[in-house]
Structure 1
């Protein structure tokens, strides 16, 4: 498979997004920063799928008018990655909203967003302190 410059740049950017997100998930202590890292990983995967489905000078199915099927099949871009990414964006946005809402509840209950403090808290998971 031969990549052009735009596709190669997108692949490098996708890899960097996934690496930055993984580092944020593993090494950062703040819960909000961990959520942002998870969003970076999801965006990197979406960009990877788009980059793999990209075809230089590709045409879409809408432009099928007055074109023979053989020439269309040689120039058509593959639509499955684009449909998967569109679905992933919707699911990722709703998941991000739920994670941030749970973070607000976590902060109101414990007064901190440091993961190490939350995990070492003796009251974590105990509902009798209310």
Structure 2
């Protein structure tokens, strides 16, 4: 199970790098979302994948048994999902406003502060 999760994280990171190398700002944003999802999967897998033993403390014990998953990475991933969605929404609105202002999503054409003759 961990091997499949590692393959999935690798595939997400490679797709994200491919998208982030494009000149289109919207593709860069989608690549950023894929990187955050890959990081979330990596953190989630680091806590242990035990579908038969949920991270619950049985009645009468003060700590969970040693063969269950760690609950801390699960809580961190839930927090990261909310923060990632907020970042995505903000960046999407920012990209939309820049498209309205400049009329393009190509990052090379968005150079307003640089002179035209320089490369």
TM-score where L is the length of structure 2: 0.84
Partners in 2 of 1:59 and 1:69 — Cα distance? 16
Matches within 5 A, 1:81-120: 81-119=73-111
Question: Do structure 1's residue 22 and structure 2's residue 17 form an aligned pair?
Answer: yes
Partners in 2 of 1:94 and 1:125 — Cα distance? 28
Aligned to 1:3: none
Aligned to 1:65: 59
**How many pairs does the alignment contain?**
113
Q: Which has the larger radius of gyration?
A: 1
* Unpaired stretches in structure 2, ≥5 consecutive residues: 115-119
50-59 or 108-117, which deviates more: 50-59
Shift of 1:37: 0.3
Question: Do structure 1's residue 80 and structure 2's residue 75 form an aligned pair?
Answer: no
Aligned to 1:38: 32
- Is the 8 Å Cα contact of residues 59 and 75 (structure 1) preserved in structure 2? no
Q: Which has the higher helix share?
A: 1
Per-residue CA shift, 1:32-87, capped at 9, x if unaligned? 1100000000000001111121233333225x126x568x4222211111011000
The CA RMSD measured in Å over matched residues stands at: 2.0
Partners in 2 of 1:69 and 1:109 — Cα distance? 58
TM-score where L is the length of structure 1: 0.77
